[in-house]
């Protein structure tokens, strides 16, 4: 065998003919060995990064099944909206999140929070605030 190629020889009528053919098993093995460290390194979200405590006090569905949440973060009331058509209500209670976008000017802001769930994360845009 030469690298990922396999040499196959046949004897027919006293003559030997050889050819090289690719060994797909070796290619798959090499691909797994190369990409498995990347998959392990990517892993999932790090729970230690989700330091914001969010209390969801109301959950409703907006147009096209998008979640709308009334939440309290650091004692301030916000309205959050998911851009995904989830079609289900989020349970009320406390969740961990992190602020992934925080652009603020003198008189306006753009904020996006990412919630951590046991099996995934989901982003919510801040679309309202009140005192």
pLDDT in tens, 62-76: 888 999 999 999 999
Domain boundaries, the chain: 5-42, 47-130
Share of the chain above pLDDT 90, in %: 60
Other beta carbons within 10 angstroms of residue 38's beta carbon come to 8
pLDDT averaged per 10 residues, the chain (length 131): 63 73 62 55 84 97 92 97 93 97 93 96 96 84
Give pTM, 2 decimals.
0.67
Find how far residue 78's CA is from the centre of its chain: 25
How does DSSP classify residue 119?
A: S
DSSP for 45-62 reads --GGG--EEEEEEEEEE-
Gap between the Cα atoms of 100 and 91, Å rounded: 22
The predicted structure's pLDDT at residue 1: 46
């Amino acid at each position: 065998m030469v690298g990922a190629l396999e040499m196959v020889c046949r004897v027919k009528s006293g003559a030997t003919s050889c050819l090289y053919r690719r060994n797909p098993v070796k290619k798959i093995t090499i691909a797994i060995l190369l990409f498995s460290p990347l998959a392990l390194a990517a892993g999932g979200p790090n729970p230690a990064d989700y330091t914001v405590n969010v209390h969801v006090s109301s959950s409703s569905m907006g147009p096209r099944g998008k979640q709308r949440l009334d939440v309290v973060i650091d004692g301030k009331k916000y309205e959050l909206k998911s851009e995904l058509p989830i079609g289900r209500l989020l349970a009320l209670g406390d969740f961990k999140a992190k602020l992934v976008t925080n652009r603020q000017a003198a008189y306006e802001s753009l904020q996006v929070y990412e919630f951590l769930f046991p099996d995934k994360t989901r982003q919510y845009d801040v679309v309202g605030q009140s005192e």
